[in-house]
Structure formats: C-alpha cells, structure tokens
Structure 1
Amino acid sequence: MDPETALELVKHGVTLLLLDVPQYTLVAVDTQMFSVGPAFKGIKMIPPGVHFVYYSSSSRDGKEFSSIIGFFIDAGPSEVIVRKWDQQEERLIKLSEEEEERYSQAVKNLEFDRQLGPYNLSHYEDWKQLSNFITKSVIERLEPIGGEITVECENEIVRNATKMPMEDALGKQLKVGNSATSVGKSQRKGCYYTSIPHVVKCKGISGQELTSLNLDKTQLLETLLAKDYGGSEDLLLGELQFAFVAFLMGQSLEAFLQWKSLVSLLFGCTEAPFRTRTHLFTKFIKVIYNQLKYGLQKDHMGETGSALLDDSWISADSFLHHLCKSTAGCQN
C-alpha cells in the first residue's frame, strides 16, 4: 500500500487505542488477533461500522490465558475508541470524557501511529459476511449492562440449560464456573436475548392442533416477529449473528444456546420458507452458510484463537444434522 493511501485510511478509519495492556495479552478485532508486545498501543485503519473487540489476559510467561472478555462497538469515520488496562481487575476500562478527548486528539495528531497495528483489510469481507445484519440498534437491544460479554458472567444463566452432551462439553472447554475470577463477575447479568420457547403451549385448542403447532414452528415465528422484533426480519437475523459472534469469538456459552434456539426455530418451520417468509429464509440460509463456512475452516480458528467448531458439528449426533434431516428437502 502506498503511503498516501495508508495515511488516508489512518485518518478516516476507526482507531482502537489500548493503554497499558500487559505483554502477551491476546487482543482481537473481528477475525484478527494480536499478541501484545512491548510497544503495542492498539489497532488503526479499522473500517467504520460494527465490530467485535475481545481480549484474554495472560500469565507472566504468556502460556496461560484467562476467559475472553468481548464487546461490540459501532464507530463512525475517524472515531477513536480509548480503553485503559486496569491491573487490579485485569480488564480494559473506559476513561473519563476529558481523558478520552485528550488521547483522541493525540491519536489524530499521529502521536501513537508507530505503536498501532494495522487492521488487515483483506479479512474485512469475512467479517462483513458474519455481521451484515448487526446494527447499532441490535447491539443496544442485546448487549449486557456495561457491554462486556464473558463466560465468567454466565454461571447461573447456563447451569440449568446445560443438559445435552454438546453443551456439557462446551461448558468444560470454556471453564464455566471454574475460574477464580468468576465470583465477582457472576453477579452481573448476561445479554438480553429474546426468549425462544422450545415447546409451544396454547390453551383452548385441541391436542391435534397443538401437535401441529409444535411440528411446524411457523406460527411461533410469526408471533415472535410481531411481539419481540417489531415485524423486522433483519432484527431477528441481527440477533442470530450477534449470538454467533459472541459464541465463536467471545466464547460465550449463553450465546451458543441462543444461537442454537434461533437456528432450531427457523429450521423447525415448514410453511414459512415456502409460502409466508420466503425472503427471510433466503437471507437466513446465506447467514448460516457463512457462519458454518467460516467457523469450520481450521485456518480461521487459528486467527481467532478459537477451536470451538470442529467436525463433531456436522456429525450424525449433532443438533444441526438432526435439524436438517427432519427439515423438508434436507433429507439424505
């Protein structure tokens, strides 16, 4: 890239300034992960828009890492986002408005330019395919109080829901409830996901009608779209993408359970894909295709530090396999 183009991207792109982050900490934006060195102060040339920032603190020798903490941002052109490392809490915190303004001006004066790692634009397309329905309104609607998404806050949320072997295995892999730091953080609430009933219950109808409602989730989908999403199909797809990103990159088990519930709901519809919601399902198939395509590519797992998706996700015992097998047109 020629210097003039690079300078324009620096000036008009988003900058993430991270102060006092300890060496060996893993810091990531979207699909790109950085290992903090002695001169690292953040990331520059980030395209304006929605992004997911996440990090994992390290032991002194860089061999052990804590649970990931992540948060979504929606940043405009030339915006500077400043966070500082709190050594006692081992996490990034916001600064006062006055301090943030001072550091933002220093960034715009290129005072930190040599200490900022560039966002790799060649990987931006992958991120857009994973997040094109995530908007500022989606983030504000779903993010937890304080904005931080971490499995350390999910002990109570997940404990009762973790029943199937896949969820149990994920819980162990993500060390739910095993970290010494979970005591203080577990009091904080997780994300504000939409409640998706697993079984449709309706008074005043016959057993045959109730069975029909549970075999075809179209009516449940219509009810949720009207009641919880204000009729917006894109808002539902935004939540699906939000949950997947929070799960795959933020290693949130709560997010996995929500993603699974939404996928199960959509795959459980028989009437909607072919008659009432064809456009929604055309978009949904593209969304889940891009999610699985990205998540199952092992080289991408290396970039994000995640190995949560493996061949077991498409094995005969996986919930995805059972969903596809029972869906019209998806049988082998």
Structure 2
Amino acid sequence: MDAETALELVKKGAALLFLDVPQHTLFGIDTQIFSVGPNFKGIKMIPPGPHFVYYSSSNRGGSEFSPMIGFFIDLNPSEVIVRKWDPQEERLVKVPEEERYSQAVKSLEFDKYLGPYTLSQYGEWKMLSNYITKSVIERIEPIGGDITVIHEPDILENGPKTAMEEALSEQLKNTNVPTSDDTLKKRGCYYTKIPRLIKKKGVVSQDLTSLNLDKTSLLESILMKDYGGTEDLLLGELQFAFIAFLMGQSLEAFLQWKAIVHLLFGCTEAPLRSRSRLFTKFTKVVYYQLKYALQKGQTDNNVAAKGPITLLDDSFLSSDSFLHHLCKEFFSLMLEARVVDGDLLSWTRRLKELLETSLGWIFHQNNGDGVFYEEDDEFAPVVVMTDE
C-alpha cells in the first residue's frame, strides 16, 4: 500500500484510542486479537459500521488472564472512540477529555502508536455480522455496554450443564475480580425471551405436542411481537449472541444463540412454506459462524490461545451434542421434502458438508420409509428456484 492510500484510509477510517492499557493485555477487534505491547495505544483505519471490541487483562508475566470484557460499537467515518484503563476495575472507561484526544488522533499526534486494522480480515468479519446494525446493538447491549461473564452470576448459579459451562464457572470462581461487589452486578443483555416449550391453557395435549414438534407458530409469534415482523432483526440478534459468545466468552450469549438455533431448526412448516427466505439466510448465517469457529479452533496458535478458555469444546462439537441432533432433523426435513426452495437446499447441503468434513458427523438421508437414496435419485426433493 502506497503512502497516499494509507493516509486516505487513516483519515476516512475510524479509530480507537486506548490509554494506559497494561502490557500483555489481550486485545481484540472483530476477528483480530493480539497481545498488547509497550507502545500500543489503539487501532486506526477501521471501516465504518458495527464492530466488537474485547479484551482481557493479565498478570505481569502474561500467563494468567481475567474473563473477557467486550462491547459492540457502530462507528462513523473518521470517528474516534477514546477509553482509558482503570487499574482498580481492570477495564476500559470513558474519559472526560474525549474531544481533545479525538482531535489529537485526527491530527495524527498518536498515529505511530496506533496499529492498523487488518483489512484483509474485514470480509470475514462482515460474513459474521452483516445483519448487525446500530438498531440491533441499541436493542440488545446492556447498560454501560460491557458484556462479560462477570456480570452473569445468576446464570452460573443455576448449575452448569456442559463441560464448557463448567469451565466458565471455574474461570469466574478463580478470578480475582470481586463478583459480589454491587457495582459489578450490572444488567445483562436485553435478549429476546424465547421459551423452550410452548404452553397454552385450554389446548388439548395432542395439539400442544404438535405445537412443540413444529415451532412455526412460536416463530411467527416472536417475529411479530418482538421484531415487528422484521426477519433481519432476529438474524442480527443471532449474530450478536454468537459474537458475544465466541469472542466475548459470555455464557448468557451462548444460551441465547442456542435458544434461537433451537427455535429455527425446530420449525418444519416455516422453512418449506411461509419463511423459506428467512431459513435460507439463517442457514447461511450458521454456516459462516461454524466455518469461522472451526477454522479458528484448528489454526489459532497465537498468544490468544493461551489466554481465556476456548468455548468450542468437545461438549459443543461432539456427535451427541444438541447441535448435531438439531442439524440431523433439519437436514432430513430439507433433503426429504418433495418441494423445497433451491437456495435453501443449496445452503443446507453446504452446511451438512461442512459438518461432515470438519467434524466427521454422519447424517443419513432417507425418503421417510427407511429407504436411503442418493442426492441425484429420481425420488430426491423437487427444487423450486425463487426470484429474490
């Protein structure tokens, strides 16, 4: 990149100025994470739009780390966000002189202390966040903005159920942060409430069973009541929760991501009839989420891997996990249907192939009568291509 182009990106891009961040602190923005060096003061050349910033303080030797703290921001062109490290709370806080520091950044006074945003990874971030907008962030993000397992004691008290949740619980117990302090008991994220089971008074048990076997009516109710009928808001919350879970290491976020995945994969009528476009987009979102998570788990050998625990453990990716069972049922529904949207079928097959090749999961395909067929069989689903 020539000097003129770089200068133009510096001026048009947004910047994060972080003052007094201790050395060895893990710092991340979007899909980029690194250990803070002695001259680090932030990031420049950040593309406008939504981003996720997260960090974890360490001991002096950089061998032990506190739980992650993260927050979403929606940046305007040339905007400068200024934060300062609070050594007592071990987190970033706002500074009263933000405008003065902002002008100093725009005047390039801090330029040599700001690392460039890795633009080659921006496309990857966009695939993980393309439905997250400023309105999605404002709807969900907690008061104060911080997303961290430190603020989720009630969830942990309910009793961890998986190895991943056990690890999070142990991490919280072993941290030196005083979780009993009332100042840390801030509100969690404002996630949409999604019931696991549908309960309705006056409905006979047979009909209630049908409602729980096919969650289409629950999906329709939630879309209208909580999202005003806007499907992309639901997808934005799914992406918000996944990022807060994987990068911010929030247990609350994991449970919300799991709840939305349960809801959508639990529908049988909606993907084939009324909401095929939503399910095409949903399947595509989950495909890129799992593709990123699996690649990161296989290739991440940098310092970040030595820091806070990795949430994608064996309990999440084993063949008897909730995700395997949900995918198995959804794949059977899509691949055995007589009529199915062409784009939805294509992304279903891509997701199925990803899980088979990356995790060795096995999904059988049959026609409902116990007879297995190949994908080019004459009894395979009828594909209906729809115009966007």
Q: How many residues align?
A: 328
How far apart, CA to CA, are the structure 2 residues paired with 1:299 and 1:85?
32
Q: 1:167 to 1:33 in 2, by over 3 A?
A: closer
- Kept in 2, the 8 Å contact 1:215–1:268? The answer is yes
Superposed CA deviations along residues 55-80 of structure 1, whole A, max 9, x for unmatched, are 01111111111111000000100000
Which among 213, 221, 224 is matched to residue 223 of structure 1?
A: 221
Q: 1:54 to 1:176 in 2, by over 3 A?
A: same
Q: 1:140 to 1:152 in 2, by over 3 A?
A: same
Taking only the aligned residue pairs, the percentage that are identical comes to 66
How far apart, CA to CA, are the structure 2 residues paired with 1:116 and 1:13?
12
How far apart, CA to CA, are the structure 1 residues paired with 2:228 and 2:334?
30
Superposed CA deviations along residues 141-175 of structure 1, whole A, max 9, x for unmatched, are 11111000000010113422x453255434346x2
Q: Which residue of 2 aligns with 1:27?
A: 27
Q: Which residue of 1 aligns with 2:378?
A: none
How far apart, CA to CA, are the structure 2 residues paired with 1:230 and 1:137?
13
Structure 1: state its 5+ residue gaps.
none
Which among 180, 183, 186 is matched to residue 180 of structure 2?
A: 183
How far apart, CA to CA, are the structure 1 residues paired with 2:300 and 2:134?
27
Q: 1:186 to 1:91 in 2, by over 3 A?
A: closer
Superposed CA deviations along residues 209-263 of structure 1, whole A, max 9, x for unmatched, are 1000000000000000011111110000000000000000000011000000000
Q: Which residue of 2 aligns with 1:285?
A: 283
Which among 208, 211, 215 is matched to residue 209 of structure 2?
A: 211
- Kept in 2, the 8 Å contact 1:155–1:177? The answer is no
Structure 2: state its 5+ residue gaps.
336-362, 365-388
Q: Which residue of 2 aligns with 1:323?
A: 326
Highest relative contact order (Cα 8 Å, sep 6+), 1 or 2?
Answer: 1
Deviation at 1:205, TM superposition (A): 1.6
1:87 alignment partner AA: P
| Largest Rg, 1 or 2 | 2
- Kept in 2, the 8 Å contact 1:69–1:148? The answer is yes
* Aligned counterparts, 1:195-210, within 5 A: 195-210=193-208
Q: Which residue of 1 aligns with 2:162?
A: 165
Q: Which residue of 2 aligns with 1:117?
A: 115
Compute the TM-score of the two structures, normalised by the length of structure 1.
0.94
- Kept in 2, the 8 Å contact 1:152–1:177? The answer is no
How far apart, CA to CA, are the structure 1 residues paired with 2:54 and 2:61?
21
How far apart, CA to CA, are the structure 2 residues paired with 1:270 and 1:166?
31
Q: 1:168 to 1:202 in 2, by over 3 A?
A: same
SS in 1 for 2:198: coil
How far apart, CA to CA, are the structure 2 residues paired with 1:218 and 1:313?
25
How far apart, CA to CA, are the structure 2 residues paired with 1:145 and 1:100?
20
Q: Which residue of 1 aligns with 2:83?
A: 83
Deviation at 1:37, TM superposition (A): 1.3
- Kept in 2, the 8 Å contact 1:158–1:254? The answer is no
How far apart, CA to CA, are the structure 2 residues paired with 1:103 and 1:16?
11
Q: 1:195 to 1:283 in 2, by over 3 A?
A: same
Deviation at 1:308, TM superposition (A): 2.0
Deviation at 1:310, TM superposition (A): 4.4
How far apart, CA to CA, are the structure 2 residues paired with 1:106 and 1:272?
53
1:179 alignment partner AA: T
- Kept in 1, the 8 Å contact 2:164–2:311? The answer is no
Q: 1:187 to 1:288 in 2, by over 3 A?
A: same
- Kept in 2, the 8 Å contact 1:296–1:310? The answer is no
1:282 alignment partner AA: T
* Aligned counterparts, 1:294-313, within 5 A: 294-297=292-295, 298=297, 301-302=300-301, 305=305, 307-310=310-313, 312-313=315-316
Greater Cα shift, 30-39 or 15-24: 30-39
- Kept in 1, the 8 Å contact 2:238–2:260? The answer is yes
Q: 1:33 to 1:163 in 2, by over 3 A?
A: closer
- Kept in 2, the 8 Å contact 1:196–1:262? The answer is yes
How far apart, CA to CA, are the structure 2 residues paired with 1:203 and 1:280?
30
Greater Cα shift, 299-308 or 179-188: 299-308
Which among 258, 262, 265 is matched to residue 256 of structure 2?
A: 258
* Aligned counterparts, 1:271-282, within 5 A: 271-282=269-280
Q: Which residue of 1 aligns with 2:266?
A: 268
Deviation at 1:39, TM superposition (A): 1.0
Q: Which residue of 1 aligns with 2:46?
A: 46
Q: 1:311 to 1:171 in 2, by over 3 A?
A: closer
How far apart, CA to CA, are the structure 1 residues paired with 2:125 and 2:263?
25
Deviation at 1:300, TM superposition (A): 5.6
SS in 2 for 1:16: strand
Deviation at 1:285, TM superposition (A): 0.5
How far apart, CA to CA, are the structure 2 residues paired with 1:77 and 1:10?
10
Q: Which residue of 2 aligns with 1:192?
A: 190
SS in 2 for 1:52: strand
Q: Which residue of 1 aligns with 2:233?
A: 235
